[in-house]
Amino acid sequence: MIAHLGLEGEDEHKTDEFYLEVLGMSKKDGFVLSAVLGKSLFGVDKEIEILNYSKEDLFLEVFITGKKQQNAYTHLCIEVDDRKAFIENCAKHGIEPTVGLKQGREIIFIKDFTGNRFEIKEKQK
């Protein structure tokens, strides 16, 4: 079982827009990671704000870094009830999907405003 996933966000406003309005998550209490603990755990010697979001069994810690992500393959796969409606909502926020084909079926990815990747699957009915 996964307890939480840590991601990065560029700024709180855009992070809230993506996780609250696009993914429909709830925002929970956040906290500040001290520079001392950041250095010992992540090798980053600076204080950093962490925002918490959740939806059902998914819990995310988003580290507000002030810069975009550069990871090429890291992604989180989420299931949505209606993929077409989800993509339409993304378009309202200026988020365009990347579409590929795998064995004749569409694979859809989106990026948040920081560059974190999300694979979007439709729930099986």
CATH of the domain at 32: 3.10.180.10
For the chain, the domain total comes to 1
Pairing of strands 58-64, 26-33: unpaired
* Each residue's pLDDT tens digit, 4-63: 899 999 999 999 999 999 999 999 999 999 999 888 888 889 899 999 999 999 999 999
pLDDT band at 64 (very low <50, low <70, confident <90, very high): very high
Asked if residue 106 has pLDDT above 90, the reply is: no
User: Is residue 39 within a helix (H) or strand (E), and if so which, with residue range?
Assistant: helix 35-42
Q: What's the predicted TM-score (pTM) here?
A: 0.83
The mean pLDDT value of the chain amounts to 90
Q: Which domain holds residue 83?
A: 5-122
Contact 80, 25 (CB under 8 A): no
